[in-house]
Amino acid sequence: MADTPIQAEMDVERQKLEADIVCIGFGPATAGFLIELSRHIGGEEGAPPLASRCQPGMPLQVLCYERAEDLGFGVSGVVTRARSIRESLPGLSPADIPLGAAVTSERMVYLLDPVGASRRSRTVRIGDRILRLAGGALGMRDDAWELPWIPGFLHKTGGWVLSMGQFMQWAGMRLMGSGLVQLWPGMPVSRAVLDGQRVVGVQLLDQGTDRQGRPSDGFLPGMEVRAELTVVGDGPVGSVGRQLDERFGRPSRSEAPSDWAVGMKMVVDLPENSPLAPGAVYHTFGYPEPEIFGFMYVHPDRVASLGIFVPSWLNSPVRTAYRCLQHWIQHPYLARRLEGARLRSWGAKTLQESGRRAEPFLVGDGFARIGEGSGSTNVLTGSGVDEAWATGAQLAAGVAELWRAGLPMSRDRLEAAYEQRRRSSWVEREARVAERSRDGFRRGIVRGMLGMALAGWTGGRLWWPGGSRSKPRPIESLESFYRGRLTPEEIDAERRRSQSQGLALHEVLMERAGWPPIPHDGRLLVSHQDALLLGGKVQAPPGYTDHVVYMDPGLCETCGSRLCIEVCSGQALRPGERGVPAFDREKCVHCGACLWSCTRTLPGRPERSNLDFRVGAGGLHSAEN
């Protein structure tokens, strides 16, 4: 097993800090929670201000610890209906937020494969042929077909295009300016602190350690922050959320998250003569692989966010978001619109696409869970921010009620005050419709799309069944995936070459399978390294432990796929000694794709993959994503 001390077990004295409420992670859910709660703390709602229980005479003491080094680093560009945000902040206009715009148009575009390297099923190929034959009549242009109509459940009419980075910064400034809550970026929370069944606070990450987590120069043991309520908003791959899942298990109707996607995106500066209008929204599917969805949102001042989602059900053993992104932006439909554009920012994040089906216990004694990690993302409408914010705001309303009544933050009280609110809200109602909408994707792209349509039109009463969800679908072997394109001997030679050179396999295999080399231009088509440095501004402070750990390296030695290396968004995982991937913390963007792409499970623990993705410091340093 990995020789890595678990910080909880390290026998060091830890300083303690007292607060009333401690929050983990500052994403849209926590922002919604804090914005709503701060109104109650300050007594804006007409009721008396909320008073601290740990520091009598003071207002409610609320602390929020964010892993990234500033607020809004490492999140994403979105189009959102923003219903909950508008409810919390009446009168707010998207123009109040940098890079915000109201949605002005929406297009859904099917992209054909202009290079012939895409792995398309027979059905898709037949469909493509028909489209090409009927192209003129259907208005086909640039190897793409703009669908004449978008299903209502996918519409974001009246919604907003936002840069989540800028929106989080805006929300953070507003909160800090109120003086009612404290936000501390650059401070990862390593675990929840438990007293029996009760969460009593959090422990912050040790600082001044070596890469194995052992005390080193300037060692500062992570403090314990004790609080009556711990708000867990650490996102889809948050380590505290997973700790609580392990500790408390899951509700009987819930299953471990099994549908994921890595969303990789870039923010680009558009040229002066760009035809793209602010508020324009594009959704694409069909290319570079049929399973890959893409998006482009146009911000004011000639800026656009664009990117793709590479899902866990893309059954490729060389699943690489970056290379796919590069092919996607070269598709004639996009290339024409992006001519003269230049990379400004870049990043990646995981989306938990199981939604409500993987909903954990939302509350327990001393804790509540909000946001994407609590299963709030709606996979049918492709909406997560609105829902996340709503869950945070719902928790805040409930907590204010309990606090004012002098009631404890116990499981039953939180169930009544928060969970019931959530259950009776649109978040729950829409999540139920969406719950099984994507199952069909397990049987292919066509059935997946049909399943979404069925679920959307019937209010979730019908869907396309996706087969067993008890365990993840095994990834095809390289030999099987490339059958007919590369021989097993050729694959083996490439595998050995990549191992000796410490390189991922996808570049060479994709090119041998027909994908053209990337014509780097230093503007939009830049090396992966340049995307990291120039776009994501990725960096990691020294003095923290490695947060990607292989629990049993022996399992990696016999792993045939090493999908973690291929999927890594930052080239932070590379072939290492004896086949065990080597982790370079400097390059990690904390997207967490390696966590759900690991194909090996620990002996006797089928739910637990061999790759442990812990909380870590550093990552993206761009607030424009």
Give the DSSP H or E segment for 295: strand 293-299
* Binder of another protein out of 24, 38, 40, 69 (CB under 8 A): 69
Phi-psi region of 591 (alpha: psi -120 to 50; beta: other; left: phi over 0): alpha
* Binder of another protein out of 12, 501, 514, 516 (CB under 8 A): 501
Instruction: Report the residue number, 201 or 382, with the smaller CB distance to another protein.
Output: 201
Instruction: Report the residue number, 179 or 603, with the smaller CB distance to another protein.
Output: 179
Choices 1-9, 170-178, 247-255, 306-314 (CB under 8 A): range interacting with another protein: 170-178
Q: Find the binding residues for another protein in span 471-500 (CB under 8 A).
A: 499-500
* DSSP per-residue letters across 45-113: TSSPPPB-SSSTTSBP-EEEE-SSSSTTTT--EEEE--HHHHHHSTT--GGGSTT-EE--EEEEEEEP-
Choices 173-181, 226-234, 382-390, 465-473 (CB under 8 A): range interacting with another protein: 173-181
* Binder of another protein out of 577, 603, 605, 607 (CB under 8 A): 577
Contact call for residues 368 and 244 (beta carbons, < 8 A) = no
- Report, in Å, the least distance between residue 605 CB and another protein: 30
542 binds another protein, rule: CB under 8 A: yes
* Binder of another protein out of 44, 557, 586, 607 (CB under 8 A): 586
Q: How many CA atoms lie within 13 A of 427 on its CB side?
A: 33
489 Cα distance to chain centroid: 37
95 binds another protein, rule: CB under 8 A: no
Instruction: Report the residue number, 422 or 574, with the smaller CB distance to another protein.
Output: 574
DSSP letter, residue 592: -
DSSP letter, residue 248: H
* CA dihedral over 84, 261, 558, 501, signed as positive or negative: negative
* Binder of another protein out of 254, 425, 539, 601 (CB under 8 A): 539
* Binder of another protein out of 139, 179, 251, 488 (CB under 8 A): 179
197 binds another protein, rule: CB under 8 A: no
* DSSP per-residue letters across 310-353: EETT---TT--HHHHHHHHHTSHHHHHHTTT-EEEEEEEEEEET
DSSP letter, residue 583: E
- Report, in Å, the least distance between residue 357 CB and another protein: 36
511 binds another protein, rule: CB under 8 A: no
Choices 32-40, 116-124, 238-246, 541-549 (CB under 8 A): range interacting with another protein: 541-549
CA distance from start to end of the chain: 37
**What is the C-alpha R_g of the chain?**
24
266 binds another protein, rule: CB under 8 A: no
Residue 147 to residues 285, 525, 534: CA-CA distances in angstroms? 11, 28, 35
Contact call for residues 432 and 460 (beta carbons, < 8 A) = yes
Q: Find the binding residues for another protein in span 198-257 (CB under 8 A).
A: 204, 207-208, 210-211, 216-218, 220, 223, 225
* Binder of another protein out of 432, 471, 520, 523 (CB under 8 A): 520
Token code pair at residue 567: 């999927």
63 binds another protein, rule: CB under 8 A: yes
Residue 144 bridge partners (DSSP): 111, 141
Cis, peptide link before residue 288, omega less than 30° from 0? yes
Q: Find the binding residues for another protein in span 147-166 (CB under 8 A).
A: 166
67 binds another protein, rule: CB under 8 A: no
Q: How far apart are CA 183 and CA 601, in angstroms?
A: 37
Instruction: Report the residue number, 218 or 340, with the smaller CB distance to another protein.
Output: 218
Instruction: Report the residue number, 60 or 414, with the smaller CB distance to another protein.
Output: 60
- Report, in Å, the least distance between residue 385 CB and another protein: 19
- Report, in Å, the least distance between residue 208 CB and another protein: 6
15 binds another protein, rule: CB under 8 A: yes
Instruction: Report the residue number, 298 or 595, with the smaller CB distance to another protein.
Output: 298
86 binds another protein, rule: CB under 8 A: no
Size of the site for another protein (CB under 8 A): 61
Q: How far apart are CA 61 and CA 20, in angstroms?
A: 5
- Report, in Å, the least distance between residue 534 CB and another protein: 5
* Binder of another protein out of 182, 197, 458, 487 (CB under 8 A): 182
Nearest 10 degrees: Cα torsion 438, 442, 443, 449: 30
299 binds another protein, rule: CB under 8 A: no
Instruction: Report the residue number, 377 or 622, with the smaller CB distance to another protein.
Output: 622
Give the DSSP H or E segment for 613: strand 611-613
Residue in the block written with tokens 């370079």: 584
What 486-491 contacts at long range (C-beta under 8 Å, 24+ apart), as own/partner pairs, is 486/512, 486/513
* Interface ranges with another protein (CB under 8 A): 15, 17, 63, 65, 69-71, 73, 98-99, 166, 169, 172-173, 176-177, 179, 182-187, 204, 207-208, 210-211, 216-218, 220, 223, 225, 344, 499-502, 520, 522, 527, 529-530, 533-534, 537-543, 576-577, 582, 586, 621-624
